[in-house]
């Protein structure tokens, strides 16, 4: 949404305020490239504060009502990514942020001053209610991240260049399919089990690893044997993952602590 119009017009469009000129965009680019190299789509489960919304909603109900979902839905976000790139290039507008992003409901909420803004607001609220809250609660899956988010699709492509992946040791696997049920992104099904690894959409959250009682599925460093060194791979993966978490969480957590201290001292959250 930013790069194609920048190449075509030599100016930056950005769907939000930019503090300190282009430096924030440059630092975002550095973070995205760094995360892609270190974690691939691990960004979506270890750093993305938006993804935290539907992850949270997907964990509310222990036994979700809808158990079977066709894994073909995981490819929709790639179509969204392609459409968003093409329409942004044609219109020179950040079309996803302008018209589709459900998280406009909780950040950068625009004051309704015209019919256009009202229409956008209805779209944002509807998508937020359906994809971020209701469907994740009913299915136990991260529906927004899996079916709509173009950033998730982009980060999935970076799984190809990232050194870590998740692999299944078929010698140990008892085909119980608990990992398939646990996967919040529909990245595992029978075909992937037979291939010994989840699809490119895997966000390396580790839920399948926790679900497997046979220790047959684990983090893995590409190019190394699947059945060896997996505790090393896990530790090496978790280090940049927690680093990313700290980078994203550090600022908001500090502000939150200051707000709580202010609340205790003054009785109000407003400075
Ligand atoms: S949970 Fe473990 S044992 Fe069961 S199917 Fe998945 S990898 Fe195999
Ligand atoms: S395959 Fe495993 S690590 Fe990947 S998204 Fe699914 S549960 Fe998470």
CA of residue 176 to ligand 2 center, whole Å? 16
Q: Whose CA is nearest to atom 2 of ligand 1?
A: 212
Tell which one of 42, 55, 140, 206 to mutate to probe ligand 2, the residue whose CB is within 8 A of the most ligand atoms.
206
Per-residue pLDDT of 136-160, as tens digits, reads 999 999 999 999 999 999 999 999 9
Cβ–Cβ under 8 Å, residues 21 and 12: no
Instruction: Say what the pLDDT of residue 15 is.
Output: 55
pLDDT score, position 41: 95
The confidence score (pLDDT) of residue 271 equals 62
| pTM for the structure as a whole | 0.85
On whether the CB atoms of residues 15 and 213 are closer than 8 A, the answer is: no
Q: Is residue 14 over pLDDT 70?
A: no
Confidence of residue 61 (pLDDT cuts 50, 70, 90): very high
Q: What is the pLDDT of residue 249?
A: 80
Q: Cα(199)–Cα(215) distance, rounded to whole angstroms? A: 19
Is 253 or 43 the better-scoring residue by pLDDT?
A: 43
Residue 184 — φ and ψ, nearest 5°? -80, -5
For residue 20, what pLDDT is reported?
A: 54
From 145, 153, 187, 158, select the one nearest 81 (Cα to Cα): 153
Q: What is the rounded average pLDDT of the residues 110-121?
A: 89
Ligand 1 touching residue 175 (CB < 6 A) = yes
List, as one string, the DSSP characters of 77-116. Answer: HHHHHHHHHHHHHHHTS-HIIIII-GGGGTSSPPP--SHH
Write down all domains in the chain, each with its CATH number in brackets. Answer: 3-157 (no CATH), 163-230 (3.30.70.20)
């Amino acid at each position: 949404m930013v790069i194609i119009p920048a190449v075509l017009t030599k100016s930056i469009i950005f769907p939000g305020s930019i503090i300190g000129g282009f430096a924030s965009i440059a630092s975002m680019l550095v973070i995205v490239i760094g995360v892609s190299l270190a974690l691939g789509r691990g960004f979506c489960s270890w750093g993305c504060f938006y993804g935290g919304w539907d992850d949270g909603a997907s964990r509310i109900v222990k036994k979700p009502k809808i158990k079977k979902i066709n894994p073909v839905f995981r490819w929709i976000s790639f179509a969204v990514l392609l459409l968003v790139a093409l329409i942004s290039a044609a219109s020179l507008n950040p079309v996803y942020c302008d018209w589709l992003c459900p998280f406009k409901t909780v950040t950068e909420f625009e004051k309704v001053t015209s019919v256009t803004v009202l229409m956008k607001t209805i779209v944002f609220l509807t998508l937020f209610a359906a994809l971020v809250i209701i469907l994740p609660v009913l299915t136990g899956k991260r529906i927004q991240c899996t079916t709509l988010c173009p950033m998730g699709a982009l980060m999935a492509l970076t799984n190809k260049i990232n050194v870590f992946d998740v692999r299944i040791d078929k010698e140990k696997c008892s085909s119980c399919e608990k990992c398939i049920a646990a996967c919040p992104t529909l990245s595992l099904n029978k075909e992937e089990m037979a291939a010994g690894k989840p699809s490119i959409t895997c966000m390396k959250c580790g839920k399948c690893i926790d679900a497997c009682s046979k220790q047959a599925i684990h983090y893995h460093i590409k190019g190394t044997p699947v059945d060896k060194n997996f505790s090393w791979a896990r530790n090496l993966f978790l280090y940049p993952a927690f680093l990313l978490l700290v980078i994203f969480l550090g600022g908001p957590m500090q502000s939150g602590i200051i707000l709580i201290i202010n609340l205790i001292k003054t009785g109000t959250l407003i400075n």
